[in-house]
Amino acid sequence: MTPADLESTIAHMGAAARAASAAMAKASPAPKDGALRALAQWLRSEGAALAAANAEDIAAAQKAGLAGPMVDRLKLTPDAIETVAAGCEQIAAMPDPIGEITELRQRPSGIRVGRMRVPLGVFGMIYESRPNVTIEAASLAIKSGNACILRGGSEAIRSNRALWRLVQQALVDAGLPPDAVQLVQTTDRAAVGHLIASPDAVDVIIPRGGKSLIERISREAKVPVIKHLDGNCHVYVDAGADLEMALKLVDNAKTQKYSPCNAAESLLVHAAVAPAFLPRIGAVFAAKRVEMRVEPACKPLLRGIKGAEVVDATEDDWSQEYLAPIISIRIVDGLDTAIAHINRYGSHHTDAIVTNNHVHAMRFLREVDSASVMVNASTRFADGFEYGLGAEIGISTDKLHARGPVGLEGLTSLKWVVLGEGETRG
Amino acid sequence: MTPADLESTIAHMGAAARAASAAMAKASPAPKDGALRALAQWLRSEGAALAAANAEDIAAAQKAGLAGPMVDRLKLTPDAIETVAAGCEQIAAMPDPIGEITELRQRPSGIRVGRMRVPLGVFGMIYESRPNVTIEAASLAIKSGNACILRGGSEAIRSNRALWRLVQQALVDAGLPPDAVQLVQTTDRAAVGHLIASPDAVDVIIPRGGKSLIERISREAKVPVIKHLDGNCHVYVDAGADLEMALKLVDNAKTQKYSPCNAAESLLVHAAVAPAFLPRIGAVFAAKRVEMRVEPACKPLLRGIKGAEVVDATEDDWSQEYLAPIISIRIVDGLDTAIAHINRYGSHHTDAIVTNNHVHAMRFLREVDSASVMVNASTRFADGFEYGLGAEIGISTDKLHARGPVGLEGLTSLKWVVLGEGETRG
C-alpha cells in the first residue's frame, strides 16, 4: 500500500466509524445485548477456525524468532476463548449505561436541568500481542454505544482477523452496522500515525502496551489519549500497624504476580516498626528470591537472613517500575515523609498504607495524589473487575476524564439536558 | 527578559504552584472560605487603588488606539467590582466539593471501594481583556483546592496586578500559601508557550478568548486543554409546535444578546409549519434588523415583510457563528433531517427543539451530539449560573472530562479509595 493509499484507507474507516457511531448511539439495549450474546455463541462454535488462524500466527512468530513470553501472549487457547465468550455474556447482562438522565432539577427560571449519559462516539484502540483484546474492546464498544477502530499487533493479525469476522457476524445478526467495529487490516506501522492524528474520525485513543508505545502515541496524537504509563506502587507500613497484616499485604502486593502494573515496587516502613518488621519481610523476600534495594539504614536490619539479596538503592530506584522480583525499601520518620516520598517518586497509580491510626488512614487517602489510594488492602486490587466495573478497557494514570481502572463509564460522556415549557432568558 | 530568563521564570512559578497545590488540596473548608470572604472585603475596601490601576490601563489602551468595544471590556467599574466581590461570597457559601467519598460499596473480596473528589492540582488560565476573570479564576481555584497560574491580556496588566495583590493578601489572611494563585507578570507572549508546554507544572490549561487564541493553544499545548471553540447553536421548530412559544423562544435565542456563544445562529423550520411561522418570525427579525440568510424555499414566505433583509445562504453560512444580528434559516422535511443537519454543521455547543411531540423531544435529546440539548427552552440558558453550578470557569465543547458549562466540578477529579481489613488477592 502506498502512503497515500494508507492515509485514504484510514480516512475511509474513520468516516464509516463516524456514521456507524450515530446508529450505535441511538440503539436500544436489546440489539446491543443481542450482538454480545451472538458473539459469545460464534466464539464457541468457531473454535476450530480460530485455532487454525492462531496456529499460523504462532508458527510465524516462532519462525521470526520471537521470545518465548511474546509467543505465549499470542496464544488463543480454548480456555482463553471461553473466557472472552463468558465476558461478552457478562457485559450483556450489565445495565445499559446509555441514555440515563440524572440530577434533573428545576431552576428558578423554570427550566429543568439534568445530565444524560451518552457514548463518546468513536474510540481507537491500539494494542500489542494478546488477541483477546480484540473481543474485549469490541464488546465494550458495542455495550457503550460507541464505534471503534482496532489496531492490534502485526504478530497477531491472523488471529485478530478471525476474531473480528465473528464480531462482524454478530453485529449483522443483531441488525447493527458492522462498521461499528473495524479492524485495521494492514500491518504497516504508519496506520497508527494516521489514526491518532484524525480528530474528525476519532474522539479518543486508548493504547494498551509498553510504556514506550504509550509515550510515543501521547506525544504524536492529535486526539485525546487515555493513557496508562507506569505503576510504581508503594506500600507504607505505619507506626503501630498490625505487623501480621502488614506482612501478608506487602507479600501479596509484591509477590502474588510480578508483571502487573498494580504490583508493589517500593516499601516504606516507619522507623518505629522497622526493627520488628524488616527482618520478617526480609525473610519472606529472601525465600521468594526477591532482590531488596535498600537505603543504608535498612541494612543492619536485614543482615544474616539466609539467601537474602540486599543491595544499595540508587536515587533511580525510587522511581523504578521493576515488574520483576525486585523491591526498593526505605525507612521513613513518619506519615508526612511517606506521603511526600510517594507523591515525588510514585507514578500516581496505586499506593497503600497499612495502619491502625484513623487520622493517618484518612490523611493518606486524601493527600496521596494517586488514581487508587488504599488502606489495609493489597495494591493488587486496583483492577476494573475487583472494583466492580464488570469489565476494563484499560487503566488511566491521567487525572482528567477517567482515572484508574476504566470501565464502560470511561467510554461515555455526560451532556446537559434542559426541559422547558417556553422559558426565555430575561 | 531574555528567552532563558522567561523560561526559568515560568518553571519557577510552576514549581511553586505545584508545592502550593499540595497545601491547598489538604486545606479544610474554613481557611478556603475565609480567604474568599477576605478577598471580597479587600475588593470593596481597595476600590480607589483598583480604579487608579484600571485608569492607567484604559489610558494606555486609548493611546494605543484600541477599538471602543475592546476598551469597554477593560473597564473595572465599581459595579463590576461589587459583582466579583459578591461572587466570592457566593462561592464561599457553596458546599465544599473536596474530600467527598461517594459510591462506597463492599465487594465480594471484602474490600470497600468508593471514589473521592479531589482537586486536579494546578490549572493555567489564559484570558484576554476582562480583568474580572482574574478574580473569578482565583476564587474558583481557592474553593476547589487547586493552585493556578493566571495569564491575562497585556492590555489589562495593571488592573490584573492590582487585583492579584488583593488575592495574595486574602490568602495570607487565611493562612494559605500565596503561591496558590500566581500571575504571570511579564507581557511577553512567549510566556504562554512555556506555560502550555509544562506538564510537570500544570495539569490543565483553560483558555478564555477568541477562537483563534484557543485553536493556537490547543495545537501547541503539551498539557490537556479544556477548550471552548465556537457556538453555532440551532433552534428547530418541529411540525405541530406551539408557534407562539416558538416565536418567543427563537426571538429570545437570537436577539436577547448577539455576542454570547449560546445565542442561536441557525433556525430550522419543519415544512409543515414554515408557511405559518416564517412570515411571523421574519417580521420580528425585520423589526430588529436581523439579516436572514436563507435557502431558496424560504424566500416566498419572507416576501413583502417591511424592512426585512433576506439574502441567499451559502454553504458556508450553515457552519457560521455570527455573534451578530444575522441568522441562517432552512426548511427541513422532518426530525431526521434536522438532527442530521445539526450534527453535521453545528459546533456541538447548544441546540434546541420546539415541539409538542414527546417522541421527537426524547429523540432530539438523545441523538443531537451537543454539550447542551434543550426542549422548549432558549439556547441562552446554556450557562453555569442558569444550570445551578454557582460559578463558571468556562464552557467546554470537548467530550472528555468536562462538557458544556464548567463549574467547580470540572476543576476536580475522582480518585478511587479502597478500605480493607487486610484483604489480599488470591
CB contacts of B421 in chain A (<8 Å) are 376
CB contacts of A343 in chain B (<8 Å) are 22
CB contacts of A367 in chain B (<8 Å) are 22, 25-26
Q: Which of A215, A196, A193 is nearest to A205 (CA)?
A: A196
Element housing A158 (H / E): helix A157-173
| pLDDT one-digit tens code per residue, B196-240 | 998 889 999 999 888 888 888 988 888 889 988 789 999 999 999
Neighbouring C-alpha atoms within 13 Å toward the C-beta of B6: 15
What is the three-class DSSP state of A227?
coil
Q: How far apart are CA A309 and CA A307, in angstroms?
A: 6
CB contacts of B242 in chain A (<8 Å) are 422
CB contact under 8 A, B423 and A381: yes
Neighbouring C-alpha atoms within 13 Å toward the C-beta of B413: 28
Q: How far apart are CA A57 and CA A59, in angstroms?
A: 6
CA A156 to chain centroid, in Å, comes to: 20
Extended strands (E) in B91-139: 101-106, 112-119, 122-127
Of A377, A401, A418, which is closest to B381 when you measure between CB atoms?
Answer: A418
* Chain B interface mutation, best of A365, A372, A393, A403, highest count of B Cβ atoms under 10 Å: A365
Look at residue A363 in the predicted model and tell me its pLDDT: 96
CB contacts of B120 in chain A (<8 Å) are 399-400
Q: How far apart are CA A38 and CA B240, in angstroms?
A: 42
| pLDDT one-digit tens code per residue, A71-97 | 888 999 999 999 999 999 999 999 999
Element housing A207 (H / E): strand A204-208
Q: How far apart are CA A234 and CA A237, in angstroms?
A: 10
CB contact under 8 A, B376 and A419: yes
**Greatest Cα-to-Cα distance within chain A, rounded to the nearest angstrom:** 82
B404, A114 in Cβ contact below 8 A?
no
Domains and CATH numbers, chain A: 3-227+403-419 (3.40.605.10), 233-386 (3.40.309.10)
According to DSSP, residue B319 is labeled: G
CB contacts of B414 in chain A (<8 Å) are 403
Look at residue A227 in the predicted model and tell me its pLDDT: 87
What is the three-class DSSP state of A231?
coil
Look at residue A2 in the predicted model and tell me its pLDDT: 87
What is the three-class DSSP state of A323?
coil
CB contacts of A413 in chain B (<8 Å) are 399-400, 403
Look at residue A236 in the predicted model and tell me its pLDDT: 98
A380, A402 in Cβ contact below 8 A?
no
Query: Min CA distance, A416 vs chain B (Å)?
Result: 5
Residue A200 has pLDDT above 90, yes or no: no
CB contact under 8 A, A378 and B424: yes
Query: What are the helix and strand counts (H, E) for chain B?
Result: 13, 16
> Per-residue DSSP letters for A335-388?
HHHHHHHHHHHS-SSEEEEE-S-HHHHHHHHHHS-SSEEEEEE-GGG-STTTTT
CB contact under 8 A, A416 and B371: yes
Of A388, A404, A424, which is closest to B248 when you measure between CB atoms?
Answer: A424
Q: Please say whether the dihedral angle defined by the alpha carbons of residues A118, A122, A126 and A130, taken in this order, is positive or negative.
A: positive
CB contact under 8 A, A420 and B381: yes
CB contact under 8 A, B116 and A399: no
Of B116, B413, B425, which is closest to A256 when you measure between CB atoms?
Answer: B425
Of B373, B380, B418, which is closest to A377 when you measure between CB atoms?
Answer: B418
Q: CA nearest A220 in B: which residue?
A: B222
Q: Which of A269, A321, A318 is nearest to A298 (CA)?
A: A269
- Position of cell 478500605? B419
CB contact under 8 A, A413 and B419: no
Beta strands A112-119 and A326-332 are: unpaired
Q: CA nearest A415 in B: which residue?
A: B371
Look at residue B219 in the predicted model and tell me its pLDDT: 87
What is the three-class DSSP state of A325?
coil
pLDDT averaged over consecutive 10-residue blocks of chain B (426 residues)? 89 96 96 98 97 96 89 92 94 96 95 97 92 95 98 95 98 98 91 91 91 88 87 97 98 96 97 98 98 97 95 97 97 98 96 98 97 98 91 88 93 97 96
Query: What are the helix and strand counts (H, E) for chain A?
Result: 13, 16
| Residues whose CB falls within 8 Å of the CB of residue B377, separated by 6 or more in sequence, listed in order | A111, A418, A419, A420, A422, A423, B249, B352
Residue A323 has pLDDT above 90, yes or no: yes
The complex's ipTM? Answer: 0.93
Of A116, A387, A399, which is closest to B113 when you measure between CB atoms?
Answer: A387
Of the pLDDT bands very low, low, confident and very high (cuts 50, 70, 90), residue A136 is very high
A421, A109 in Cβ contact below 8 A?
no
B349, B232 in Cβ contact below 8 A?
yes
| pLDDT one-digit tens code per residue, B23-77 | 999 999 999 999 999 999 999 999 999 999 999 999 999 999 988 888 888 999 9
A212, A242 in Cβ contact below 8 A?
no
A306, A326 in Cβ contact below 8 A?
no
Q: Which of A244, A254, A238, A315 is nearest to A286 (CA)?
A: A254
Query: Min CA distance, B206 vs chain A (Å)?
Result: 13
Please give the angle made by the CA atoms of A269, A272 and A273, to the nearest 5 degrees.
55
Q: Which of A307, A298, A352 is nearest to A329 (CA)?
A: A298
Q: How far is CA A61 from CA A51, A55, A163, in A?
A: 15, 10, 18
Which grid cell sits at A189? 506501522
Query: Min CA distance, B129 vs chain A (Å)?
Result: 26
A262, A349 in Cβ contact below 8 A?
yes
CB contact under 8 A, B413 and A424: no
CB contact under 8 A, A111 and B386: yes
Query: Min CA distance, A23 vs chain B (Å)?
Result: 9
Element housing A126 (H / E): strand A122-127
- Position of cell 464561599? B92
Of B249, B380, B386, which is closest to A107 when you measure between CB atoms?
Answer: B386
Query: Min CA distance, A398 vs chain B (Å)?
Result: 9
Q: CA nearest B100 in A: which residue?
A: A366
Q: Which of A262, A252, A406 is nearest to A323 (CA)?
A: A262
Of A248, A367, A420, which is closest to B374 when you measure between CB atoms?
Answer: A420
Query: Min CA distance, B362 vs chain A (Å)?
Result: 10
What is the three-class DSSP state of A119?
strand
Look at residue A146 in the predicted model and tell me its pLDDT: 98
CB contact under 8 A, B380 and A419: no
CB contact under 8 A, A381 and B111: yes
Q: Please say whether the dihedral angle defined by the alpha carbons of residues B249, B252, B255 and B261, taken in this order, is positive or negative.
A: negative
Residue A210 has pLDDT above 80, yes or no: yes
Q: How far apart are CA B192 and CA B189, in angstroms?
A: 6
What is the three-class DSSP state of A2?
coil
> Per-residue DSSP letters for A8-49?
HHHHHHHHHHHHHHHHHHH--HHHHHHHHHHHHHHHHHTHHH
| pLDDT one-digit tens code per residue, A26-51 | 999 999 999 999 999 999 999 999 99
CB contacts of B245 in chain A (<8 Å) are 422
Query: Min CA distance, B51 vs chain A (Å)?
Result: 30
